Amino acid sequence: MRCILSIIIVAFITGCNPGEIPISPHASGELETTMIEIGSEYNNQIFYNLESNSVVSQNEKTDWDLGFLTGVDDWHIVINSSKAGGIWSVENLDFEDTPEIEDAVWEFDSPNGNLDSTAIDDYRNSDKFYVVDLGYSSTEEQLGYMKLKIDSVNESGYFIRTADLTHEQESLVFIEKDADLHRVCFSFSENFAVDIEPLSSDWDLLFTQYTNLFYDPFSAYLVTGVLINSQYITVAIDSEKEFNEITYEDIESYSFSSNQDVIGYDWKDFDFDSGFYLIYAEKNYIIKNGLDQYFKIHFIDFYDDLGEKGHPTFEIQQL
């Protein structure tokens, strides 16, 4: 009788969910609303961190011109596309000669950040030099042109020459690589490297103007939006679910991209009838950071409380 009773008790304890262990649902973070102040003239570049939901640093978009990549084997140079400038590759003249701007064929970096599509192409083992169109200030003032020649590049840095178009003054500059940065920024007006970009691991999103390339017909046009730190960040887009319905469990169903402009500018559109920007709040972005954390954001405004544009506002929540 004692044996039968023991069997009945064991069956009662284990029979409901044999072999199952209860799992608590994934805990999401608090929903927060954040506004970024690019400015009504779009003059600021804002580096932002997802985990802390805070601005890491900011600078005037005209504070730098070129970005030199910092990996041991890196040789790529990118342009600060927030000023609508371009690059002209010159191969039939000496660096000391004066190129005619009317002959220029301007090239632009791909907005997706693909290093196979940079305007400054492979200059190694070449005598070519480049004319850099410095673009425009926030008040649409043309900033002029400079010549650039990269004499050599190695694991330590870049040896470059700069001059104005008439070559009245030539400078030799060494751009030292810094492994803690994705790129070292250079200013022609200062003629040396300037402190712009935060440590690579400290920022996730860059709120800025940048040059977008449109085709049919081809045109390069300044847009205002978000570029990602593609070293660490990947992004998926969901326009089907409501923002508040997206959960951690949805992550496996998404395809993530590391394209620099995956968030981009088209979460808004300009309405010519009203003269205001409209926001596509149904466009949701799911972001994975370098710590394998996931966040969802969507934009809800482009204006501040005074009605000034250039203040993207979004809701953010850690999944």
Residue written as token pair 């992004």: 235
Report the distance separating Cα 149 and Cα 160, nearest Å: 6
Report the distance separating Cα 22 and Cα 13, nearest Å: 15
Query: For 101-146, how does the pLDDT look when each residue is reduced to its tens digit (9 = 90+)?
Result: 999 999 999 999 999 999 999 999 999 999 999 999 888 899 999 9
Q: What is the pLDDT of residue 25?
A: 63
Q: What is the pLDDT of residue 7?
A: 34
DSSP string, 32-44: EEEE----TT--E
Q: What is the pLDDT of residue 218?
A: 77
Query: For 255-314, how does the pLDDT look when each residue is reduced to its tens digit (9 = 90+)?
Result: 999 999 999 999 999 999 999 999 999 999 999 999 999 999 999 999 999 999 999 999
Provide the 8-state DSSP code for 92: S
| AA identity, residue 295 | F
Residue 156 sits at φ, ψ, to 5 deg, of -95, -30
Report the distance separating Cα 37 and Cα 309, nearest Å: 9
Query: Which residues make Cβ contacts (< 8 Å) with residue 132, sequence separation at least 6?
Result: 65, 66, 79, 85, 87, 145, 146, 147, 148, 188
Residue 193 sits at φ, ψ, to 5 deg, of -65, 140
Q: Which long-range contacts (CB under 8 A, 24 or more apart) does 243-250 make?
A: 243/281, 243/282, 243/284, 243/296, 243/298, 243/315, 246/284, 246/286, 246/296, 246/319, 247/26, 247/28, 247/319, 248/26, 248/28, 248/294, 248/319, 249/26, 250/286
Residues in the chain: 319
Query: For 18-69, how does the pLDDT look when each residue is reduced to its tens digit (9 = 90+)?
Result: 455 555 567 778 999 999 999 999 999 999 999 999 999 999 999 999 999 9
Q: How many CB atoms lie within 10 A of CB 170?
A: 13
Element containing residue 284 per DSSP (H, E): strand 284-288
- The half-sphere exposure of 210 on its side-chain side, counting CA atoms within 13 A, is 26
Query: Which residues make Cβ contacts (< 8 Å) with residue 27, sequence separation at least 6?
Result: none
Per-residue pLDDT at 246 exceeds 70: yes
Would you say 61 and 208 are in contact if contact means Cβ atoms under 8 Å apart?
A: yes
Element containing residue 176 per DSSP (H, E): strand 170-176
Residues facing 176 on adjacent strands: 157
Percent of the chain with pLDDT over 70: 92
Q: How many CB atoms lie within 10 A of CB 140?
A: 8
Report the distance separating Cα 254 and Cα 231, nearest Å: 19
Categorise residue 40: left if φ over 0, alpha if ψ from -120 to 50, beta otherwise: alpha
